[in-house]
């Protein structure tokens, strides 16, 4: 194996070392290394809390009213940015109407405080809940929209909300709501404090709220949900096919994004004392978008940096106050052109992703994997049977394709194709280009709806099942053109493949409960095994795009296997591999079968297919022309014809050419 190229600027520590000119000494590394350092191994909430306490204490001591006011603004922007970062940064959905959620949160809290005399802290859960609901209302009808249409719909939603508030008499119309009371806590009413003290109290409240927003955002981002979002952003189609319920996750992103904005809105209302519709214009939506872009999309530290930039910016740019937006616009374009990753980019590389995960002996490992796979299968079979479905035993049909037909315009891509794949075999589908092989795959996995025909998997029909549910039932797949999640590390790619096996609920992910932690730890172990299985453990921490073509294919295989599927569909796994790599691939395919996983293979390489397959189906022009063992297929005159052309045709061609 070639030595890995040096990875530059892997960690925040390296970046700081480079910026400050200090070398990261071993002692520094022992404490601060992001993966192994003693301090950085502490739970995130503890580190964030320490930072928050420092910030909360520092400013009142510094005692400059103006600085504190700007800092409170930064905290408000940070809360908004953390929410929008979920929607745009992680889930990749461009939301241009984010100010609407800010408005809904602010108005909810303000109305409850003014009309119902509720304490600020009691209005918080209501405001957060209502904005979450608003997120669902916006999200639901827009789930299936193309991403650029989404931008315009969200923009329209933002405008609609603002207009509705302006025209709503209960909300005070264009004049808004005034005399919003200050918060009070444990009998301490901010109303009774002198202005400087009140300012400090507001600062502390804003730090606490930002801290909560930050910790929850961190937890959700580092859970299976955050991984699902990023996978969806990188390649929605592939994410769905490996088991990520993309529609549900999109909706969740909107709901979460809304909740964070609701928190910020409620705080804004009590802090600013009077709100009106002009505080929630398109400009606010844009400003929050700018801040997360400047900070670095998908980076939490970036959000904090970006929030500071947009709140301190106007103070610094006072001389050109009127041209502030012009400067922001130029900054936005310049960032996209010259530093699209932002000031503090999110890094998904991890030099030591498995730090703290037990090493397993190679010998023992393969036996253990086999045992665990069999145990899992036995468990699933039992459940399956008790639910009244027929379980395919070894040697019985696990995948039944019956009369499958698919049509594109006037072309019958697949025409009445039927075959059974037996549990435990290696089954290959071959045929010339355009024979309909990949279309058959897509119809089986639910990516395309077949025009007619049935697909039965393990005794149940797959008809009408979305791709992620087919994956959850034990149907893994790889893609003809490599479709990895490019900006994710190799081990994360494989971990996304485990999505359907995870049982963590959203609230567990938010709170990072012991149950969730244990599941993540188990998953890491599982991922390490699979990467070792395909021989890529050394590369686990790199980004998927940094691997060679053949290695990327192997990551795809590991991702497809991660959830211990019953059957794995490999779409041209040998394409672009050299002879040595092909030999290794054959070994891997055999190892998959030895685990008890049925393999369905499409490939052009006849030698490889003949060597590895138990049975072969041959497609030509959408029709199944032969089915049998490799030796039979090699002898079959129809197959020879399909591949080499008919003799009469050749004769006719020769004649036509005048030979």
Partner 1 sequence: MGTFIQLTINGLTIGSFYALVALGYTIVYGIIRLINFAQGDLTVVGMFIGWSLLVQFGFKALPLPIAIFVAFFIPMIGTAITNVVVLQLAYKPLLKRSLLAILITALGASLVLSNLIRFVFGPAIEAYPDLVPLTGFSIGPAHVSYLQVTLFGASIVLMFALYLFVQRTAVGTAMRALAVDHDAARLMGINVDQIIRLAFVLGGLLAGASGVMLGIYYSQIHFSNGFLLGLRAFTAAVLGGIGNIPGAMAGGMIIGLLEAYTAGYLSSKWQDVVVFGVLIGVLVVRPMGLFGERVAERM
Q: How many residues bind partner 1 (CB under 8 A)?
A: 43
- List the one residue out of 71, 78, 76 whose CA is nearest residue 54: 71
Q: Considering only 24-32, 38-46, 155-163, 593-601, which stretch makes contact with partner 1 by CB under 8 A?
A: 155-163
Beta-carbon contacts of 390 under 8 Å, excluding residues fewer than 6 positions away, are 459
Task: Identify which range of 136-144, 364-372, 405-413, 598-606 contacts partner 1 by CB under 8 A.
Answer: 136-144
Q: Do residues 405 and 450 touch, judged by C-beta distance below 8 A? A: yes
d(CA 469, CA 471): 5
Token pair of 589 as six digits: 């395919």
Structure tokens at 529: 């095994």
Q: How far is the CB of 228 from partner 1 (least distance, A)?
A: 18
Interaction between residue 333 and partner 1 (CB under 8 A): yes
Q: Is 152 in the site for partner 1 (CB under 8 A)?
A: yes
652 lies in the site for partner 1, by CB under 8 A: no
7-36 burial, b at 16+ Cβ within 10 Å, e below that, comes to eeebbbbbeebeeeeeebeeeebeebbbbe
Structure tokens at 93: 């959905």
- Cα–Cα distance for residue pair 160/127, rounded to 1 Å: 19
* Cβ closest to partner 1, residue 50 vs residue 163: 163
* 84-103 residues near partner 1, rule: CB under 8 A: 88, 92, 94, 96
Helical H segments across 236-361, by residue range? 236-241, 246-272, 282-295, 300-316, 324-338
Nearest-angstrom CA–CA distance, 77 and 253: 19
Among 39, 46, 53, 325, binds partner 1 (CB under 8 A): 325
Mask for 159-178, x = binds partner 1 (CB under 8 A): xx--xx-xx-----------
Per-residue contact track with partner 1, 442 to 481, x per CB under 8 A? ----------------------------------------
The one-character DSSP state at 390 is P
- Tell me the closest approach of the beta carbon of residue 330 to partner 1, in angstroms: 6
- Kindly state the smallest distance separating residue 659's Cβ from partner 1, in Å: 32
Q: Does 156 bind partner 1 (CB under 8 A)?
A: yes
- The binder of partner 1 chosen from 151, 370, 391, 510 (CB under 8 A): 151
The reply on whether position 395 binds partner 1 by CB under 8 A is no
Among residues 142, 418, 480, 636, which is the contact residue for partner 1, using CB under 8 A? 142
Three-point CA angle 291, 292, 293, nearest 5°: 90
Classified as helix, coil or strand, 633 is helix
330 near partner 1 (CB under 8 A) = yes
Nearest distance from residue 144's CB to partner 1, in Å?
6
Q: Which residue has the tokens 């599941």?
A: 519
List the alpha helices (DSSP H) in 568-605.
579-594
- Window 230 to 269, contacts with partner 1 (CB under 8 A): 235
Residues 6+ apart with CB under 8 A from 144: 247
Binding status of residue 340 toward partner 1 by CB under 8 A: yes
Nearest approach in angstroms of CB 370 to partner 1 is 38
Among 293, 462, 494, 558, binds partner 1 (CB under 8 A): 293
Can you give the binding site for partner 1, defined by CB under 8 A? Answer: 88, 92, 94, 96, 141-142, 144-149, 151-153, 155-157, 159-160, 163-164, 166-167, 235, 282, 286, 289, 293, 297, 322-323, 325-326, 328-333, 336-337, 340
């Amino acid at each position: 194996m070639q030595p890995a190229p040096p990875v530059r600027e892997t960690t925040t520590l390296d970046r700081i070392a480079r910026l400050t000119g200090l070398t990261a000494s071993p002692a520094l590394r022992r404490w601060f290394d992001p993966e192994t350092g003693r301090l950085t191994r502490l739970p995130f909430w503890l580190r964030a809390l320490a930072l928050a306490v420092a910030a909360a204490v520092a400013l009142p001591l510094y005692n400059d009213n103006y600085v504190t006011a700007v800092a409170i603004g930064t905290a408000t922007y940070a809360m908004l940015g953390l929410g929008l970062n979920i929607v745009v940064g992680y889930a990749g959905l461009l939301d241009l109407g984010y100010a609407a959620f800010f408005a809904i949160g602010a108005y909810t809290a303000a109305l409850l405080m003014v009309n119902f005399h509720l304490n600020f802290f009691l209005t918080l859960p209501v405001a957060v809940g209502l904005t979450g609901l608003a997120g669902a209302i916006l999200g639901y009808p827009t789930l299936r929209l193309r991403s650029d249409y989404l931008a315009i719909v969200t923009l329209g939603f933002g405008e609609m909300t603002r207009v509705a508030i302006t025209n709503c008499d209960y909300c005070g119309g264009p004049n808004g709501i005034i005399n919003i009371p200050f918060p009070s806590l444990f009998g301490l009413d901010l109303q009774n404090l002198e202005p400087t003290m009140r300012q400090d109290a507001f600062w502390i409240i804003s730090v606490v709220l930002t801290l909560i927003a930050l910790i929850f955002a961190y937890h959700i981002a580092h859970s299976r949900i955050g991984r699902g979002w990023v996978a969806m952003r990188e390649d929605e189609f592939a994410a769905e096919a490996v088991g990520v319920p993309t529609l549900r996750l999109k909706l969740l992103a909107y709901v979460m994004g809304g909740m964070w904005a609701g928190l910020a809105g409620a705080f804004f209302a009590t802090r600013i004392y009077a709100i009106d519709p002009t505080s929630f214009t398109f400009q606010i939506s844009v400003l929050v978008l700018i801040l997360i872009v400047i900070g670095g999309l998908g980076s939490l530290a970036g959000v904090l940096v970006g929030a500071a930039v947009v709140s301190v910016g106007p103070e610094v740019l006072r001389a050109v106050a009127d041209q502030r937006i012009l400067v922001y616009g130029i900054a936005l374009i310049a960032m996209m052109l010259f530093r699209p990753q932002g000031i503090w980019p999110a890094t998904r590389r991890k030099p030591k992703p498995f730090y703290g995960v037990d090493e397993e002996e190679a010998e023992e490992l393969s036996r253990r994997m086999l045992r665990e796979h069999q145990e899992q299968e036995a468990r699933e079979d039992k459940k399956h049977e008790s639910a009244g479905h027929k379980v395919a035993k070894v040697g019985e049909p696990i995948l039944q394709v019956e009369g499958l037909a698919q049509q594109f315009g006037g072309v019958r891509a697949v025409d009445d194709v039927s075959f059974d794949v037996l549990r435990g075999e290696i089954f290959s589908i071959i045929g010339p280009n355009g024979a309909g092989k990949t279309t058959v795959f897509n119809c089986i996995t639910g990516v395309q709806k077949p025009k007619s025909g049935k697909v039965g998997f393990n005794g149940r029909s797959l008809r009408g099942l979305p791709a992620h549910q087919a994956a959850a039932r034990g149907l893994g797949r790889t893609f003809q053109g490599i479709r990895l999640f490019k900006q994710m590390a190799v081990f994360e790619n494989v971990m996304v493949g485990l999505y359907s096996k995870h049982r963590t609920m959203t609230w567990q992910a938010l709170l990072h409960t012991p149950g969730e932690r244990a599941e993540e730890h188990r998953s890491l172990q599982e991922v390490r095994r699979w990467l070792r299985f395909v021989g890529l453990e050394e590369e686990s921490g790199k980004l998927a795009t940094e691997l060679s073509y053949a290695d990327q294919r192997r990551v795809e295989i590991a991702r497809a296997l991660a959830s211990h599927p019953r059957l794995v569909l490999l779409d041209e796994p040998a394409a672009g591999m050299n002879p040595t790599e092909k030999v290794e691939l054959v070994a891997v395919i055999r190892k998959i079968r030895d685990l008890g996983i049925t393999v369905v293979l499409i490939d052009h390489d006849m030698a490889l297919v003949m060597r590895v397959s138990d049975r072969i189906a041959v497609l030509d022009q959408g029709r199944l022309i032969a089915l049998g063992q490799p030796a039979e297929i090699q002898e079959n005159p129809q197959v020879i014809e399909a591949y080499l052309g008919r003799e009469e045709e050749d004769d006719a061609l020769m004649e036509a050419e005048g030979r």
